[in-house]
């Protein structure tokens, strides 16, 4: 099954423009995150998060006025569909380890007193102490770093060359940084679900890269006289249909998850949608061009000097 018959696209010839685009996006993301625009879920920042369901349509301004009396700086926003009458309340203040539920009780009590005409019919809370939040942040970073290092070691051994492992690992790191940038741009929180999505994408992106690397290795065995640039470009074209079909079907699945998965899975779905696109892009325009750059440099150094 071929979606594109005998493609002959010069991926490597256009790679430098896409590398510049990636560098610009990552630089903008780093600047945006450093400016304090990255939002962390209660799992990492510590504090209390409540989802309150009201009897009638909630008035967010009145709820905010009531909650800020007991928790200054609390974040109040609508949650889920408008017809569900739900409000999200996030309290960043650190509760005592001896009584973590105290901030949640204070919020429910002040709403019962100041907003009694629209009572809370159902509530759920998520409480994370400061020690646990810091520990989760540290573990999330280590999980990502160890995952990238494990892939670097395996691919280097599998393809008997460090550049293959380095290229695949840098492409996966590129995907993580771009996903984090888009999460910051669009105001999504970094939660445990998002970390799970990022780790999933690290594996998915490298899997896509290895398929193309395998085809390149097969071509190397049979076409030793061709340049590495031509071999890699042909390998990308030969696997293009497979890339479109596999990544396209995965994209449709995660797009449905993002659109219809509900508020709880929205961050996970968004990360997966961005990650599938970026993972496909990085295989074509980051990982393979890095390998090509390395071998082209070696070929250039190996050429004998022309006699005068």
Residue 302 in this model has a pLDDT that exceeds 70? no
Q: In what order do the strands lie in the sheet with 86-91?
A: 75-79, 86-91, 47-54, 120-128
Share above pLDDT 70 across residues of the chain, in percent, rounded to a whole number: 90
Higher pLDDT, 42 or 23: 23
Break the chain into its structural domains and give their ranges: 12-40+132-302, 47-128
Q: What kind of fold does domain 47-128 have according to CATH?
A: Alpha-Beta Plaits (3.30.70)
285 — pLDDT class (breaks 50, 70, 90):
very high
pLDDT tens column, 158-181? 887 788 999 999 999 999 999 999
d(CA 120, CA 124): 11
Considering only CA atoms, which of 197, 46, 49, 199 is closest in space to residue 136? 46
Architecture of domain 12-40+132-302: Up-down Bundle (1.20)
**How confident is the model at residue 36, as a pLDDT?**
84
Q: Which of 22-26, 119-123, 255-259 has the lowest mean pLDDT?
A: 119-123
Residue 307 in this model has a pLDDT that exceeds 70? no
Residue 304 in this model has a pLDDT that exceeds 60? no
Residue 157 in this model has a pLDDT that exceeds 50? yes
**Span 118-146, average pLDDT:** 77
**Span 137-142, average pLDDT:** 82
Higher pLDDT, 307 or 244: 244
DSSP 225: T
pLDDT tens column, 44-73? 767 788 888 898 888 888 888 888 888 877
**Span 74-90, average pLDDT:** 83
3-state SS string over 49-86?
A: EEEEEECCCCCHHHHHHHHHHHCCCCEEEEECCHHHCE
pLDDT tens column, 288-300? 999 999 888 877 7
């Amino acid at each position: 099954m071929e979606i594109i018959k005998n493609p002959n696209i010069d991926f490597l010839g256009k790679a430098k423009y896409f590398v510049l685009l990636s560098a610009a996006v990552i630089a903008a993301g780093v600047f945006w995150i450093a400016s304090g625009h990255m939002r962390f879920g209660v799992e990492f920042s510590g504090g209390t998060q409540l989802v309150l369901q009201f009897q009638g349509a909630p008035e967010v301004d009145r709820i905010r006025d009531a909650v800020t009396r007991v928790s200054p700086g609390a974040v109040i926003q609508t949650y889920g569909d408008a017809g569900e009458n739900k409000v999200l309340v996030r309290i960043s203040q650190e509760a005592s380890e001896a009584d973590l539920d105290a901030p949640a009780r204070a919020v429910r009590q002040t709403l019962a007193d100041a907003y009694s005409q629209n009572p809370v019919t159902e509530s759920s809370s998520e409480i994370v102490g400061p020690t646990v939040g810091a520990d989760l942040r540290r573990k999330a970073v280590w999980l990502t770093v160890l995952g990238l290092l494990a892939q670097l070691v395996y691919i280097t051994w599998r393809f008997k060359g460090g550049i293959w492992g380095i290229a695949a690992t840098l492409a996966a790191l590129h995907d993580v940084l771009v996903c984090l940038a888009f999460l910051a741009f669009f105001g999504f929180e970094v939660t445990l679900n998002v970390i799970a999505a990022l780790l999933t994408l690290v594996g998915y992106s490298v899997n896509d890269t290895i398929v193309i690397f395998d085809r390149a290795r097969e071509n190397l065995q049979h076409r030793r006289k061709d340049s590495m640039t031509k071999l890699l470009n042909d390998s990308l074209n030969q696997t293009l249909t497979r890339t479109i079909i596999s990544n396209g079907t995965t994209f449709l699945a995660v797009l449905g998850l993002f659109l219809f998965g509900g508020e709880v899975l929205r961050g996970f779905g968004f990360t997966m949608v961005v990650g599938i696109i970026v993972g496909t892009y990085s295989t074509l325009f980051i990982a393979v061009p890095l390998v090509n750059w390395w071998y082209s440099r070696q070929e250039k150094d190996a050429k004998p000097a022309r006699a005068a």
